[in-house]
Amino acid sequence: MSLQPGSIQARDAAAVLHPMVNLGAIEDKGALMIARAQGVYVWDAAGKQYLEGLGGLWSTSLGYGNEELAQAAYDQIKTLSFSHMFNGKSHEPGMLLAEKLKALVPMEASKVFFGLSGSDANDTQVKLIWFHNNALGRPRKKKIIGRMKGYHGITLASGSLTGLPPMHNQWDLPLDGRFIHTDCPHHYRFAEKGESEEDYASRLAHSLEQLILKEGPDTVAAFIAEPVMAAGGVLVPPRTYFEKVQSVLAKYEILFVADEVVCGFGRTGKPWGSQTLNIKPDTMTLAKALTSSYQPLSAVIIPEKMYAPILEASRKLGTFGHGYTYSGHPVCTAVGLKTLEIYARDRLFERAAQLSPKFQARLRSFADHPLVGETRGIGLIGAVEFVSNKANKAGFTPPGSIGTYCFERCHVHGLIPRNVGDGIAFCPPLIITEAQIDEMFDKFTLALDETLDYVTREGLLAA
Ligand SMILES: Cc1ncc(COP(=O)(O)O)c(C=O)c1O
């Protein structure tokens, strides 16, 4: 199929290098051009309406077209459209948001550093961990352990923390030596036959400890984890996993970095994924729902035990050589402040918890479908994984092809979820209603049945 010459899609394909997509598909079919949005719906350039099943990219918790956020951005642009935080400058929206975040997070918080994306925030995490260990006279303690299938971003350092092969292959990542990965905690795929969640969690913690001992505990600085892995397929870890992992980390003075970029701000049914999954983080990374994606903004929150040596070193060096032009951008932080105000005023984290049983029940009802191997999720995030054979859990060839097929059928039915391998993920805005949850899963049912028809027609399902 070729694009209509001169069409908006052809012009887009000719000019834009698209992120995270098969570039051949853009050349052949063009992108879905999104034109406008309101509430939980978006409309494409041809006027077709879609329900946003993934909240943008796991991020637009307040949905689209929120007047209060628009007003907050407008007011801030009129008052102070830009001011940086370099060389001893600051401003009120940045200061107020840092104060608010310190009070909200479930950790002993000393300082907040602002960036613009989850990726740059996780780069900052890596740099601060290295800098503070240098300041403490531990120049060897630099390795950071991520997990297979974890996603922490795409820059050189955060892409190295990520544990997804497509983000490494041909990109010369992970960077040598300092980035290592331990097991992916997915019971359905990787537990042994008959192994309980608890036993599986113990085995993973043991494996982590073996990795640390092999690398040398004095060389391992930190462990980074999403409470629930999002891009890896919405993987909720087995019961007792984080407790066991944390007791291993504590033995070797290894920091726990909680990447709350997706799980933060009510997504998992509590304010923080760390609370839902029983994590006691040393540091945290926030982004996405921090502004409900109305402005690019991320935050790294560090404890006093990290800040004190950093301060000391900065006094000696005469500077703290890290920062972005837009660190703490006043418009972004003003929108962040308003977002947090709305979350609290409208009790949206509680709302997510209240909607969760309905969302999870609809999601889990797909478990009996002939194409579905597993349904999983927590709070208002979930996924369905497809298999060609329920008994032996075999997937499809090439991997991801059936996930992509179903994703495209969802579009036809006016739903935008996310394909994660051979599966579909859901992470709707927290403002979604019960009726819209039904609408979302009804549309998905149509797409799923059509995917089954296709798979059956093609003879891809086990007899
Ligand atoms: C858990 C997690 N961390 C970090 C990132 C990177 O964020 P960004 O795309 O804003 O760089 C993402 C993006 O999806 C994410 O899901």
Atom of ligand 1 nearest to the CA of 288: 10
Ligand 1 pocket test, pick from 162, 229, 262 with the greatest ligand atom count within 8 Å of Cβ, gives 262
Taking alpha carbons only, the member of 404, 397, 409, 403 closest to residue 422 is 403
Determine whether the shortest distance from the Cβ of 212 to ligand 1 is under 6 A: no
Cα 224 to averaged position of ligand 1 atoms, centre (Å): 13
Specify whether the backbone of 288 is left (phi greater than 0), alpha (psi in -120 to 50) or beta: left
Ligand 1 pocket test, pick from 123, 288, 290, 381 with the greatest ligand atom count within 8 Å of Cβ, gives 288
In tens digits, what is the pLDDT along the chain, a chain of 463 residues?
689 999 999 999 999 999 999 999 999 999 999 999 999 999 999 999 999 999 999 999 999 999 999 999 999 999 999 999 999 999 999 999 999 999 999 999 999 999 999 999 999 999 999 999 999 999 999 999 999 999 999 999 999 999 999 999 999 999 988 999 999 999 999 999 999 999 999 999 999 999 999 999 999 999 999 999 999 999 999 999 999 999 999 999 999 999 999 999 999 999 999 999 999 999 999 999 999 999 999 999 999 999 999 999 999 999 999 999 999 999 999 999 999 999 999 999 999 999 999 999 999 999 999 999 999 999 999 999 999 999 999 999 999 999 999 999 999 999 999 999 999 999 999 999 999 999 999 999 999 999 999 999 999 998 7
What are the tens digits of pLDDT across the range 44-55? 999 999 999 999
Determine whether the shortest distance from the Cβ of 153 to ligand 1 is under 6 A: yes
Cα 328 to averaged position of ligand 1 atoms, centre (Å): 18
Determine whether the shortest distance from the Cβ of 334 to ligand 1 is under 6 A: no
The residues, ordered by sequence, that sit 6+ positions from 140 with a Cβ below 8 Å of its Cβ are: 216, 218, 219
Cα 153 to averaged position of ligand 1 atoms, centre (Å): 5
Determine whether the shortest distance from the Cβ of 287 to ligand 1 is under 6 A: yes
Long-range Cβ pairs for the range 129-134 (8 Å, 24+): 129/221, 129/222, 129/255, 129/257, 129/283, 129/306, 130/221, 131/310, 131/313, 131/322, 132/306, 132/309, 132/310, 132/313, 133/221, 134/313
Q: Please indicate, yes or no, whether the overall pTM of this predicted structure exceeds 0.85.
A: yes
What are the tens digits of pLDDT across the range 312-362? 999 999 999 999 999 999 999 999 999 999 999 999 999 999 999 999 999
Cα 194 to averaged position of ligand 1 atoms, centre (Å): 34
Determine whether the shortest distance from the Cβ of 226 to ligand 1 is under 6 A: yes
Q: Which residues of 241-274 are buried (b: 16+ CB within 10 A; e: fewer)?
A: bbebbbebbeebebbbbbbbbbbbbbbbbbbbbb
Check if the beta carbon of residue 398 is closer than 8 Å to that of residue 381: no
Distance CA 237, CA 373 (A): 17
Cα 181 to averaged position of ligand 1 atoms, centre (Å): 18
> Is 68-345 the same fold as 32-65+347-457?
no
The tokens of 210 are what? 């073996």
Work out whether the CA dihedral 187, 189, 191, 194 comes out positive or negative.
positive
Which CATH code is given to the segment(s) 32-65+347-457? 3.90.1150.10
Domain ranges across the chain? 32-65+347-457, 68-345
Cα 178 to averaged position of ligand 1 atoms, centre (Å): 20
Q: Could you tell me the fold of the domain covering 68-345?
A: Aspartate Aminotransferase; domain 2 (3.40.640)
